A and B are shown apart, each in its own frame.
Chain A
Amino acid sequence: MASLALSVSVSPPTATSPAPSLAPSLAPTPMVEVRGLAKRFGRTEVLRDVDLAVRRGRVTAVVGPNGAGKTTLIKTVLGLTRADGGHVSVDGHEIGRGDAAYRAQIGYMPQIARFPENLSAADLIAMLRDLRRAHGAEARTDDELIERFALGDQLAKPLRTLSGGTRQKVNAVLAFLFDPALLILDEPTAGLDPMSSSILKDKVLAERAAGKTFILTSHIMSELEELADDVAFLLDGRVRFAGPVEELKRATRQTSLERAIAQLMRAGAVA
């Protein structure tokens, strides 16, 4: 592998060397720990030997160009996609194939909200609440976003009649609904108007202050600048950088996250 145009510490030549964000031995276990994760779809290798540690109480942004494997990584943590190899631990527990209980701690906001179209948002919320209760995992529910988004009169309408933006708001409401310790948001503000997008970002910051852990992807760098504490940069299915935002800026000698990431991408394209 050709050495990148960046300083060596930024892009480790192989993923076997520990990522800079790996917590020192005294720190608590990471909220999510991914080791040696591999996934291929047919002949395409989507994830290759991915290592990542998501620290508690912080917002980790997974960034990278389209097709870098961000969504696949997220879905593998959730168990929606089955890894071909490697390990995923959530809250210190290694996730096996049959495990489902750990998802009680996770709120997931998929990139594109796909709902049973005949149901209303209220039906959906009632159903999920009921399901969690049946599972014996009822936590405090948090419907602050319903109010903030002023969704009140939209809740009773069938989901198929709602606009794209409104569906995305419902999507966000569902992710935060059960007060989960870990939130996984895939392009959360895509399709939201500026006001709703700020409401959502405020919510993320407030919940982080309350100790929640976030994994989020976005292509909007200003948004990540506002929200992210740590960055994991994926390229061609590999983690090319993982660490605090400040460290990335220092290593790339850039002042904005956007320029730092752009430099990583350029370096990756050269390699």
Chain B
Amino acid sequence: MSAPATMLPGAAAPSASGTALRVVQYELRNALRSRWLVGYALFFFLVTDALLRFGDGGAKALLSLMSVVLFVLPLVAIVFGTMYLYDAREFTELLLAQPVGRKSLFAGLYVGLAAPLSLALVVGVGLPFVLHGLADPSQRGTIGALLGAGVALTCVFTAVAFLIALRSDDKVKGLGVAVGLWLLFSLLYDGLVLLLAMIFADYPLERTLLGLMLANPVDLARVFLLLRLDVAALMGYTGAVFQQFFGSATGAAVAATALALWVAVPVALGVRAFERKDF
């Protein structure tokens, strides 16, 4: 630094949290006005309502609901997340020319998407239960777990979506990667694991399979929920191994921790990519 600096009026102390909060507010206002978010909540509402109306309202309905949530939610979160960040490009460029730090802006954008998506899930799935009442009060915990796992998965897949959109400026490529990852995690993964288990049937594979399961957030959420419901038969191959290894209580804790890591790591990588990006 050469000469003593003369601060100009207007260059006051920064308040990063204040600007992050503002960005969240704008994004929330935008999201709540948008039709797709309402559609997303409505979808969960109709599915849950139908299952409660036409199903027995017991554990079976909850299982079906779980399957739908675990299948649809990652797709919506990753595709919308990717699109959202591409669409926010103008907003981002405008705000970065203002006294807004990149970390605050990233936090604002992330919360501004993850929060309304989570809200849509909680309202869409929760409301029918409130309207119909619970068949069995003991289900309350299970529904809570389902909503919790759903919120966690929303956070995971929006973070992954942000990472995709930041790494590639090509919209089409970004969307392709997003859909591909969803296919991998939701459909192909268990099959691949099963294939692996069959090929190497003669070897002790427990630890490898366990590691593979921890590497798939959808699997983690599923196992976490099934351990609560205690229906190992529906867990798929990795889930069964998981329960065998950890038992139900520890297993759920391990799965929850791994899910938290699945949020933290992509968010950290996303912040890094966002800070280094040229706009």
Interface residues in chain A, defined as those with a beta carbon under 8 Å from any beta carbon in chain B: 28-29, 33, 41, 75, 78-82, 89, 91-94, 97-106, 108, 110, 114-118, 124, 127-128, 130-132, 134-139, 178-181
Interface residues in chain B, defined as those with a beta carbon under 8 Å from any beta carbon in chain A: 1-16, 18-19, 21-22, 26, 30, 88-91, 93-104, 275-279
Question: Within 8 Å CB of A89, what residues of B?
Answer: 1
B13, chain A: closest CB distance, angstroms: 6
Question: Within 8 Å CB of A105, what residues of B?
Answer: 8, 10-11
Alpha-carbon distance A116/B90, docked complex (angstroms)? 6
Tell me the nearest residue of chain A to B95, going by C-beta: A131
Alpha-carbon distance A75/B11, docked complex (angstroms)? 20
- Contact status B90-A101, CB under 8 Å: no
18 further A-B pairs in the complex, CB-CB below 8 A; given A114-B89, A136-B15: A75-B279, A79-B96, A80-B96, A80-B278, A91-B6, A92-B3, A94-B1, A100-B104, A104-B11, A105-B8, A105-B10, A105-B11, A106-B97, A134-B19, A135-B98, A137-B12, A137-B99, A180-B10
- Contact status A179-B19, CB under 8 Å: no
Question: Within 8 Å CB of B88, what residues of A?
Answer: 116
- Contact status A93-B10, CB under 8 Å: no
Contact status of A116 and B94, CB under 8 A, knowing A29-B5, A92-B4: yes
- Contact status A103-B5, CB under 8 Å: no
Alpha-carbon distance A121/B98, docked complex (angstroms)? 16
Choose one: A29, A110, A136, A138; the contact of B93 (CB below 8 Å).
A110
Question: Within 8 Å CB of B276, what residues of A?
Answer: 82
- Contact status A179-B7, CB under 8 Å: no
- Contact status B8-A91, CB under 8 Å: yes
- Contact status B3-A101, CB under 8 Å: no
- Contact status B96-A181, CB under 8 Å: no
- Contact status B279-A81, CB under 8 Å: yes
- Contact status A104-B10, CB under 8 Å: yes
